[in-house]
Structure 1
Amino acid sequence: MSSIRVFLLGALAERGPMHGHQLRLLAEKEHVHMWTDFRVGAIYGALKRLVAEDLVEPVRTEREGARPERQIVRITDAGRIALDDLRLETLREFALKPDPFDLALARVGRDMADELPDLLRARRAAIVAAAAHHTARLEHVHQYLNITEQHVMQHQTHRLRAELDWLDSVLAALPAIVLDEKTRETD
């Protein structure tokens, strides 16, 4: 699954030919950084790959004033087929991506066991801050979102709450975790 491909191919299919900067502005306007797994700056590289794969094709170049020349691209028939396939794949499949945090927690070891409470509290504070920032952004853009986008943003809200709930359960078990780490390595 590639959310950047879905975004780029979908934007070109829905809005017609554009250049990379227009796609970047659209991504910023739609606040995709708030609910996708790609950064707006990654658009240019992904666009080049789509051209190389014949999923989009150049149609012309434009120049505005003294700005650099920009290549306008459009989605190809193969790109439309790929977009449909990507959308279906993404909507049908559930992807639970491993969090590297889990591996680090599982392998914290005796030497870091004493630091674990502070580390986990700092992580919790960071998640609380991220949730507050997300809520503030959501309040700011809510009026501009369609119903589906509102649900997408609520998905992020629920994921942040779930992360906090899980981390709170880890913090509640912290004395046992620290004790286990300290005794496990001596066995």
Structure 2
Amino acid sequence: MATEKQPLTTLAMAILELLHERPMHPYEMTQLMRERRVDRRVKLRPGSLYHTVERLEGQGLIEVVDTQRQGRRPERTVYGMTEHGRDTFAQQTRQMLAEVAPNYPPYPVALSAGAELSPDDFLDQLRMRTMNLRAQVAAEQVVIDKVEDERLPRMYWIDFAFVHHQRKSELDWTQQLIDDLESGRIPWPDDKTATPPGQSVVDTEDGSDEKTS
């Protein structure tokens, strides 16, 4: 029975993207990802890049093209992308661009769970979130202003622009939620037995209410 081929992780895609430029050793990949802020959209943990490089080599997507040694430093293995790697990268890029994949961010979960907090506590946490979001938006805007001044082609940092836009949208939405709660446009559910969305209340024979999905 054939097993379904697993899609490449975001870190694997980031590695293959770098290898489109030139062959590199893993340490250089790590440094470039941090320099280019790739680690803001890809989880880059110690050792994770080296493990992913080994897996890509095992899949035949990259191959050893050289070894380098500088002074007494350990020997570094330089990897290049294979034709199979290029084809796989292009195929998955098309799929990731065209398809809307499921996403499970923690913020919507926290919004749902937040109804179990007190109104003041909930609002305090939202205000803290907006403060953190404003700081991140401002920091990202500094980077955007810099690359625009350097006339760096937008397609080279289009991913950063997308994340920045998402962050600003989340900030606007959260601030509107705070305003709506403070003004009473969205009332706080005082009755903990209120019917959740997706359920309806029907009358039973004994006159009591019953919730149905």
Measured against the shorter chain, the TM-score band is: 0.7 to 0.9
Could you tell me which of 137, 147, 151 is aligned with 2:143?
Answer: 137
1:38-80 Cα offsets, whole Å, 9 max, x none, are: 3375432321221122211223322111111111111122212
Could you tell me which of 137, 152, 159 is aligned with 1:152?
Answer: 159
Structure number with the bigger relative contact order (C-alpha 8 A, sep ≥ 6) is 1
Alignment partner of 1:94 is 2:100: yes
Task: State how far apart, in whole Å, the 2-side matches of 1:48 and 1:144 are.
Answer: 36
- The more displaced of 132-141 and 37-46 is 37-46
Task: State the match for 1:184 in structure 2.
Answer: 192
Task: State how far apart, in whole Å, the 1-side matches of 2:33 and 2:194 are.
Answer: 53
**Sequence identity, in percent?**
26
Deviation, structure 1 residue 167: 0.5
Instruction: Look up the SS of the partner of 1:54 in the other structure.
Output: coil
Deviation, structure 1 residue 125: 0.4
- Per the alignment, do residues 117 and 82 of structure 1 end up closer, same or farther by CA in structure 2, a change over 3 Å counting? same
- Per the alignment, do residues 68 and 37 of structure 1 end up closer, same or farther by CA in structure 2, a change over 3 Å counting? same
Instruction: Look up the SS of the partner of 1:39 in the other structure.
Output: coil
- Per the alignment, do residues 40 and 134 of structure 1 end up closer, same or farther by CA in structure 2, a change over 3 Å counting? farther
Task: State how far apart, in whole Å, the 2-side matches of 1:161 and 1:155 are.
Answer: 10
Could you tell me which of 65, 72, 76 is aligned with 2:82?
Answer: 76
TM-score (norm 1): 0.83
1:75-116 Cα offsets, whole Å, 9 max, x none, are: 122212211112111221234623212112212244443311
Q: CA RMSD in A?
A: 2.5
Task: State the match for 2:202 in structure 1.
Answer: none
Task: State the match for 2:28 in structure 1.
Answer: 22
* Runs of 5+ consecutive residues of structure 2 not aligned to the other structure: 1-7, 196-213
TM-score (norm 2): 0.74
Task: State how far apart, in whole Å, the 2-side matches of 1:112 and 1:65 are.
Answer: 62
- Per the alignment, do residues 82 and 72 of structure 1 end up closer, same or farther by CA in structure 2, a change over 3 Å counting? same
- Per the alignment, do residues 109 and 40 of structure 1 end up closer, same or farther by CA in structure 2, a change over 3 Å counting? closer
Task: State how far apart, in whole Å, the 1-side matches of 2:54 and 2:12 are.
Answer: 11
Instruction: Look up the SS of the partner of 2:43 in the other structure.
Output: coil
Task: State how far apart, in whole Å, the 1-side matches of 2:116 and 2:164 are.
Answer: 35
Deviation, structure 1 residue 127: 0.5
The answer to whether the 8 A contact 1:19-1:70 is kept is yes
Alignment coverage as a number of residue pairs: 184
Could you tell me which of 9, 14, 18 is aligned with 1:11?
Answer: 18
Matched ranges for 1:46-85 at <5 A:
46-85=52-91
Residue type of the alignment partner of 1:183: D
Task: State how far apart, in whole Å, the 2-side matches of 1:178 and 1:110 are.
Answer: 14
Structure with greater helix percent:
1
Task: State how far apart, in whole Å, the 1-side matches of 2:116 and 2:49 are.
Answer: 43
* Runs of 5+ consecutive residues of structure 1 not aligned to the other structure: none
Instruction: Look up the SS of the partner of 2:21 in the other structure.
Output: helix
Instruction: Look up the SS of the partner of 2:71 in the other structure.
Output: coil
Q: Which has the larger radius of gyration?
A: 2
